[in-house]
Structure 1
């Protein structure tokens, strides 16, 4: 499984509905060589879920799928997208003398044959030209690959402004924060320090600091677990909670 935020130890992967749907969507995209989008606010677990299911695919020897993941800086050029995709597919740098059009021609050849999944992270950074380049490659009659866009705030707004892309989206999953009512049960299975925690205590942590965001829960857990270890405790108590809140800024955003 992918590493949890800040290398948090002893944390379990939460098998939420969104985590399961991510796997289903990825499998559907591969089966139909289709386009999909997974998007949501920062820290809600979408990248972790995608990475976990990509790892599952890489380890499945019976139904092997070639995967590659890319992320670009803000407003990349079309040539940069083409060049980095070339490198991801081949493991080598593209010839410097080749224009973008030559690179696209090479990419068409590379994207035929074996089943592939190309995952574009932080997709909200792409501009219209880069989105159109990827769409062109995906729609080419010789290519055969699944295309997954993953992104944070503004991702769907950016992608959905492109009619040629929007009409081709086969699967879309908006990730959201954990439902408050599910937090106590999920957190008791997330880390040993919460195993016997009172329901109201876990709801208080969620309301005061984490707000259903998995990255915030990971940061709190990392801090609280370290404090428990330093104090020789295996479970949360009021002193640990108070010190954790202090180290994390006092929950000033709560």
Structure 2
């Protein structure tokens, strides 16, 4: 199962629209041994959502890989080989590695996840497509990436036409934050929606990673003050820790909280 950012004790998984859509997409992609893409801005929980969805498929072997910017095809082949076989690639050529990958990818139910897929080159995208299309293989291929991942991947018609499911994650809207974040952590239980909206306006911005960072700080402040949940004072102090100064008491609100 995936971990929350900062591994906050007591944090709960929220049924955000992105999580629900990713759950369904991964289910379909794994069942069909197809291709899927999950993309969106940093901090929205893409990798967590995919990892969580895959954890429900106990009989499916999962290989999770990530590459530096503009990797070579040989690096992609070697990394995949080592993930699949748990053996070092050594000095094998790309062609030898490809033959062994085709054999490995034909064994049993499997899912391959490529994180930060926007880093791939055209040749590497074509290489992954080739592995997936070969008649000897049958595996689910999930490409997960940042905000520009789809613009990179969709430039290749051969891959774009094969994408079975695509999920584009967006930041939570203000109403979604007010509806969902009260359940994220016990310190928000029963908290006024206006206070949640204030946190989102100045720190959260609909981004789960930003909310996790704020929650980590606020939970610590609550524990130090022997309080079960946040209040205006806790929020004021947490904003100060995160780089902003906010008058929560009804006056003008100013903040320099980081983007």
2:36–2:163 contact (8 Å) kept in structure 1: yes
- Of residues 60, 85, 102 in structure 1, which corresponds to 2:96? 102
**Structure 1 CA distance for aligned equivalents of residues 162 and 78 of structure 2:** 24
> Structure 1, unaligned stretches of length 5 or more?
none
**Structure 2 CA distance for aligned equivalents of residues 93 and 55 of structure 1:** 26
* Matched residue SS, 1:76: coil
- Of residues 150, 153, 157 in structure 2, which corresponds to 1:159? 153
**Structure 2 CA distance for aligned equivalents of residues 176 and 155 of structure 1:** 14
What CA deviation, in whole Å up to 9, does each residue of 1:129-172 have, x standing for no partner?
A: 11111010001111111111000121001101111111111110
**Structure 1 CA distance for aligned equivalents of residues 189 and 76 of structure 2:** 46
- Of residues 117, 135, 138 in structure 1, which corresponds to 2:132? 138
What CA deviation, in whole Å up to 9, does each residue of 1:97-127 have, x standing for no partner?
A: x210111011000111311110000000000
User: Alpha-carbon deviation of 1:194?
Assistant: 0.4
Match of 1:20 in 2: 20
Runs of 4+ in 1 over 4 A off after TM superposition: none
- Of residues 172, 180, 183 in structure 2, which corresponds to 1:178? 172
| Number of residue-to-residue matches in the alignment | 248
Give RMSD over aligned pairs.
1.2
What CA deviation, in whole Å up to 9, does each residue of 1:55-78 have, x standing for no partner?
A: 222xx3xxx111111011111110
- Of residues 53, 59, 68 in structure 2, which corresponds to 1:73? 68
Match of 1:9 in 2: 9
Match of 1:216 in 2: 210
> Structure 2, unaligned stretches of length 5 or more?
245-254
Match of 1:55 in 2: 55
User: Alpha-carbon deviation of 1:242?
Assistant: 1.2
Matched, 1:200 2:198: no
**Structure 2 CA distance for aligned equivalents of residues 15 and 239 of structure 1:** 29
**Structure 2 CA distance for aligned equivalents of residues 176 and 187 of structure 1:** 16
- Of residues 79, 88, 110 in structure 2, which corresponds to 1:84? 79
* Matched residue SS, 1:133: helix
* Matched residue SS, 1:30: helix
**Structure 2 CA distance for aligned equivalents of residues 136 and 119 of structure 1:** 16
**Structure 2 CA distance for aligned equivalents of residues 81 and 243 of structure 1:** 47
User: Alpha-carbon deviation of 1:47?
Assistant: 1.1
